[in-house]
Amino acid sequence: MTRVVRVDPEHPDPARLAEAGAVLRSGGLVAFPTETVYGLGANALDPAAVARIFAAKGRPAHDPLIVHIAAVDEAARVAAAVPERARALWARFAPGPLTLILPKHPAVPAAVTAGKPTVAVRIPAHPVALGLIRAAGVPIAAPSANKFGHTSPTTAQHVLDDLGAAVDWILDAGPTPVGVESTIVDVTVDPPALLRPGGVPREALEDALGGPVVWRGDVVAAEDVRAPGMLPRHYAPRVPLWLFEGPRAWAREALWQTAAQLARGQGQRVGALVPHADAARLRPLGVVVADLGPEHDPAGMARRLFAGLRDLEAAGVEVILARTVAEQDVGLAIADRLRRAAAHIVRPASRAVAS
Ligand code: TXA
Ligand code: MG
């Protein structure tokens, strides 16, 4: 039986965290909020517990997990070395939505890192996540708490919907404040590589390091499994998503015309995941709108993104229309997730190009 336990997001009850920590130490699975998305946690040093994560998610064994610790000085338990660049990034962004790829410590089971010589390490900023790691007294391996390939969960209900009985405990502290996953940076290579844009903007990383961080996400080949989160169609909703990419005015208009054609012309049940300014013109067409909020507030749009996709699925739409946003700050992560969710990318020149 899954136990859903409400906790205060700022001041979680220590007795609850102690109980949840004991569940983790005894090999159980505890889903918990981080500042980005909900994670599905297990004791990172217990191979049997880690195996339960892969089974619950339906995740392939070649996709490694992120190990969560509560402070920089705990990194020595899971990483064989912490390079100067890692310390510089953590000095600025820990705790926070940043994951660093480091050389792996022998104590970390091969199942966690999918046999790689490196390990992904993150110090989350959410008081519940930090309290849980401290209460457990062990590093916690935790992928996003969704079925493999589905949209990441930003509420406890999303976790229940995807994983239900496979989880022992769910700590429910309400919606997660960032809404997209952590930024992943490989600091074992020179220059450091951005493997996944996320809550910490690339601009801020480069500022902290005083040098470039290489973003190869645009050109990554489908067979590259260094970070499977970067593969096309990784963050997929369960209905096809058409992404309109190009100049803002063109994308807005093309999306509206397509919505009109599908909804009015073909009688389809159409969903749209759009900034607030687009919503009013779409609703009269009978389109189900997930409103991302003001376009000048990328943090707000990131927070609403995954819930918006799930709301549209739940509304039973047959197709979801979305358009890209400016790729500054967390906007790069939004654009990246939309691209990976897209079944089709529609651009001005080509009109319809499969992703
Ligand atoms: O915000 C987050 O990072 C959330 C919360 C729960 O912390 N976690 C999360 O985990 O997004 P997951 O498993 O959904 O995504 C982790 C990504 C995967 O794409 C995985 O391939 C990559 O990290 N990864 C893990 N270990 C790696 C390694 N050693 N080298 C390269 N990529 C790695
Ligand atoms: Mg994930």
174-227 residue pLDDT tens: 999 999 999 999 999 999 999 999 999 999 999 999 999 999 764 544 344 445
- C-alpha dist (Å) from residue 353 to 13, 224, 276: 51, 22, 26
Q: Does the pLDDT value for residue 61 go beyond 50?
A: yes
Atom from ligand 1 closest to the CA of residue 226:
31
What separation, in Å, do the N-terminal and C-terminal C-alpha atoms of the chain show? 40
Pairing verdict, β 38-43 and 30-33: antiparallel
Instruction: Please choose from 184, 188, 230 the residue to mutate so as to test ligand 1's pocket, defined by most ligand atoms within 8 A of CB.
Output: 184
Probe target for ligand 1 pocket from 59, 99, 100, with the most ligand atoms within 8 Å of CB: 99
Q: What are phi and psi of 348, to 5 degrees?
A: -60, -45
Locate the ligand 1 atom nearest the alpha carbon of residue 180 and give its number: 1
pTM assigned to the model: 0.94
Helix/strand/coil percent split, the chain, to 5: 40, 20, 40
Q: What are the pLDDT digits (tens) for 32-47?
A: 999 999 999 999 999 9
Q: Is 33 left (phi over 0), alpha (psi -120 to 50) or beta?
A: beta
The pLDDT tens digits of the residues spanning 295-338 come to 999 999 999 999 999 999 999 999 999 999 999 999 999 999 99
- pLDDT of residue 89 exceeding 50: yes
Q: Which ligand is nearest to the CA of 220?
A: 1
Q: How far is the CA of 229 from the centre of ligand 2 (A)?
A: 7
Q: Which residues line ligand 1 (CB under 6 A)?
A: 34, 36-37, 39, 63-66, 97, 99, 101, 113, 116, 118-120, 122, 124, 142-144, 181-182, 184, 195, 226-229
User: Whose atoms come closest to the Cα of 37: which ligand?
Assistant: 1
Give Cβ neighbours of residue 225 (< 8 Å, ≥ 6 apart): 62, 63, 231
